[in-house]
Chains A and B, each alone.
Chain A
Amino acid sequence: MTGTLSASGTLSERTELTLSRLEALPPLPASAARLLGAISSERTSARDLIDIIRSDPAITAGVLRMLRRADLGVADVSIGIERAIPLLGFNRVRQVVLVLQFLSFFDVSGADAEAAALNRDLWKHQLGVAAAAELLASRTPLKAEPSAAFVCGLLHDVGKLALLHVFPRAYLRASRRAENDRICICDAEIEVLGIDHAVAGRRLAERWQLPRAVVECCRMHHLAPGSMPEGLGERSLVEVVHLADVLVRQLRIGFSGYLPVGDAAEVAVRLGLSSETVGEVQEKLPQVLAPLFELVGDGAANGPAFYSESLRRIAREFDDVQRELAEATRRLELKSRALDTLRAYSEHVGPQSPIADICAAAATAIGNLFGQAEAVVAIVPRPGDLVHAGSSPAMTDESKAVVFPVQEAGGALESIRTAGGTNAAVLNRASGGLEPLWHRIRSKTPHLPLWSLDFPPEPCFSGVILVAADESTMAPWGMVSETLTAVTGVLRSAIAAGVERCAADRLSDALIEAQRRDSAVEPERQRRRSLNMIAEMAAGAAHELHNPLAVISGRAQMEQANAEQEDLTRSLQIIVDQAHRASEIVMELMNFARPETPRPCVLMLKDQLERIAQHWRERSEFDAEGIRVEVADPAVFAAADEVQFREVFDSILSNAVAACVPERARIQINSPSRASDETVRIVVTDNGTGMSGYVLDHAFDPFFSHRPAGRGRGLGLSRAYRLAEINGGRMWIDSEPDRGTRVTVEFPARISSIA
């Protein structure tokens, strides 16, 4: 009746299966039932007992084996069963028969050797508890019957036997699990089989209608005396069995599954027994048990050798515990080293440290972590292609911080850029491509194997940690990988903060610079803005004026046709003339406000300036000396709209001519060699009256004219300024009263993409 309990079924499925198998066990043999029943009464006769023994060959063999034990002094091999009772005692024989009956019932000879061994060990435990319970019962003041105690002790773990019998391999698994992982055997049983041995035992005992005491013992033998429920019928028996169980476990007699228990002596005291009693029982136990062990085929040991197996077990357990302790100590040591490292690291970097210094401190920390090893931390901030790196101090050199372009890192670029895919720190042998990186930073090749430790992923940089160390230094760190992750996490945060801070610094510097430049050109921008505003306003107004002026002029003309008096005709003519003049002003305003889009072409400066000068010579009637042109390099060109270029200089010269006294006028038009590759410069100097500070400030203002009212309209220089501007150039004036005026104009030297 074996089957397999698959590890993949659900808990309830397994429970169901186990329970059904238990239900399927055959009922108790009648003789066993009789024996059990008769234990409480003395009415079983010796004759009945002999009959029972004779009825089952296995029982016969077992009894005979006991009889032939050497210490019974029975040399005669032909001794018969009839001698059993006189030799062993009625009670003892009865007990032996019971044991043999149950042994044969829970027969695991069909299963493998491991199951058979476990079965034997379980039986040894049960026998131990039975014997101990019998011994204790006779000493306890609680009035427990010794033979009843024996039976209860024998069957208290019948659940285990049943489970092993029903599912041997699964039970083996459960007991192994309990041993290896140090969990209570009951929990392991539930995990693997769905129910524990207490429940199994109770159900079986109830089904077999075993005495109530046995049922209660099966269920409650684990409970500490204080926590047993009230109303327990055979409380004293249960307590005795519990104490016996604790004692036998303490002595490591047999095997009973992992279960941490307290001290037997303490439990005894709580039950009202003295610790000496426990000691006495302990001494007597081997004597009683040795013959009983014969029944399970292991009666060879007696005397001091009885406990040899127990001692072996204890020694093994002790070794395990020691090993665990050593490991835990090692782990703790590594973790505390990591903490020290981080503390030292945080003392070495401050909030203003440059990235490379942070890397150097990180490398030093990492080096300390791995026992003063040589280490290197290299990072590449994103975006960017500079490597910031630091190295730990070694025997001969100090800690170093370097910055270099990514190209110098050799083939390590890809490794750095793609490193750090997972969140956990991974310690690996470094790939070959990282050696050049090490070399670049430390300026020498590593003497020990290189290991790499990645940073957890981080959007603002990618980086790698390299350590030179041998296998034995690195191996233990595999145990405490979370510590390594924590360390790299801290370093990563510090480096990320450094990178972000650098970026922020750069940004703020750029902002300050932009602001400075901005404030420098503010006055210029003010002027341009006011000019634009005026221009727009003027254009808007001018637009509307044409029609009214046309009506004024037209009406006056119409009336002129009818007028007869000369005065009237003349008046009307004046009206017409003024209307036309007003329109001219309006036209000028509009031209000023919205100049035509320049169509730049390449102009030869010499030609253009000569022509302008000649025109003004004729117009002003100054002599050749009065207006002179000097162009340093005849091959100098400007890019501008031709008409507008001319207009600019017309305005300038108009002012220059007006400012000079005709006889002594000296107007000079120069073009020195280029101001720069992008612009040409033309300077117009005159020796006229010059401008006062006030006039100079307002020279480019529209409608500002210091000439008498009625002459000129004050738009000339404003327009010139605007035209120069829209052609991609600029214009400015230097002047002092009575010292003349210098007007400088710049134009682009090339037709580029002028906006």
Chain B
Amino acid sequence: MNGRKPRVLLVEPDPDLLEILVSGFAGRMDPRITCVDSADSALEVDLGEPHDLVITELRLRRFGGLRLASQLVSAAGFERPVVLLADRISGRRAVETARVGVRDIFIKPFMLSDLLDRAEELLEEYAMHRQFVARYHRMRELVRRVIRERRHLNHRTELICRDLVGAHRRLVHRVLEFEGQMSRQE
């Protein structure tokens, strides 16, 4: 969670472009980068080990970058940042990508520094998001425990009360019995 290296998944069929991206990342931060060239391998790899950021080409053979994006965004249980690289994008398509959950689109050719800035942002955000989520889970867990304890406590209290009430009754009974004995003796 904290302190571990961010894991980045690059889905890009063009090897030249891939090399540029890898060296860009290497220069800036030092993430664990996984490179694949097709959607199927991307899904496979991510299944094994969920990544913190996915950068994918929009035009992928057979599967389509957008579809891949929509699957990856929700695959790990909470929303992961996905960034698209595209030749061009129409207004309508852009709206669609936003709906799917894609965080940004970069039109080729782009300034590498811009892409890396955004990547850093998204990774930080995701890290915080993860922390927050973790904390949230912990809190929920605590709250659950509190509720459980309280229930337990209530239950115990009830038992003790019942015992007390029972004992009291028996006592009263004994007293009455005793009084009775007493009166009979008179």
Contacts and interface: CB of A to CB of B under 8 A. Distances in A.
B109 interface: yes
Interface in B64-101: 85, 87-88, 90-92
Contact of B27 (A551, A555, A561, A596): A561
Interface of B: 14, 16-17, 20-21, 23-24, 27, 85, 87-88, 90-92, 107-113
Nearest to B114: A557
B112 A557 contact: yes
A590 B24 CA distance: 29
Given A547-B108, A549-B109, A550-B109, A558 B20 contact: yes
Given A554-B17, A555-B20, A549 B88 contact: no
B20 A551 contact: yes
A546 B109 contact: yes
A583 B20 CA distance: 18
Interface centre among B14, B16, B20, B108, by most chain A C-beta atoms within 10 angstroms, is: B108
A349 to B, nearest CB: 69
Given A546-B87, A550-B20, A579-B109, 12 more contacts: A546-B109, A547-B108, A549-B109, A550-B85, A551-B16, A553-B110, A553-B111, A554-B24, A558-B20, A558-B23, A558-B112, A561-B27
B8 to A, nearest CB: 17
Contacts of B107: 583
A579 B20 CA distance: 15
Contacts of B108: 546-547, 549-550, 583
A590 B89 CA distance: 11
Interface string A142-153: 000000000000
B116 to A, nearest CB: 10
B11 to A, nearest CB: 14
Interface residues of A, number: 20
A282 to B, nearest CB: 122
Contact of A580 (B90, B109, B112, B113): B109
Contacts of B85: 550
Contact of B111 (A547, A552, A557, A590): A557
A597 to B, nearest CB: 9
A36 interface: no
17 contacts: A546-B87, A546-B108, A549-B109, A550-B17, A550-B110, A551-B14, A551-B20, A553-B109, A553-B111, A554-B17, A554-B109, A557-B24, A557-B112, A576-B111, A579-B109, A580-B109, A583-B109
Interface residues of A, dominant DSSP = helix
Given A557-B111, A557-B112, A547 B17 contact: yes
Nearest to B108: A550
A587 interface: yes
A552 B109 contact: yes
B118 to A, nearest CB: 15
A580 B110 CA distance: 8
A596 B23 CA distance: 37
Interface centre among A543, A554, A583, by most chain B C-beta atoms within 10 angstroms, is: A554
Nearest to A551: B16
Interface in A473-522: none
Contacts of A543: 87
A150 to B, nearest CB: 122
Contacts of A555: 16, 20
Interface string A523-555: 000000000000000000001001101111111
A466 B1 CA distance: 106
A596 B112 contact: no
**In the complex, the 3 A-B pairs of residues with the closest C-beta atoms, listed nearest first:** A554-B20, A553-B109, A550-B108
A360 B109 CA distance: 84
A484 B87 CA distance: 84
B59 to A, nearest CB: 9
B22 to A, nearest CB: 10
Contact of B113 (A550, A551, A557): A557
A555 B18 CA distance: 11
B175 to A, nearest CB: 93
Contacts of B20: 550-551, 554-555, 557-558
Contacts of B16: 547, 551, 555
A323 B90 CA distance: 102
B41 to A, nearest CB: 20
Nearest to A557: B112
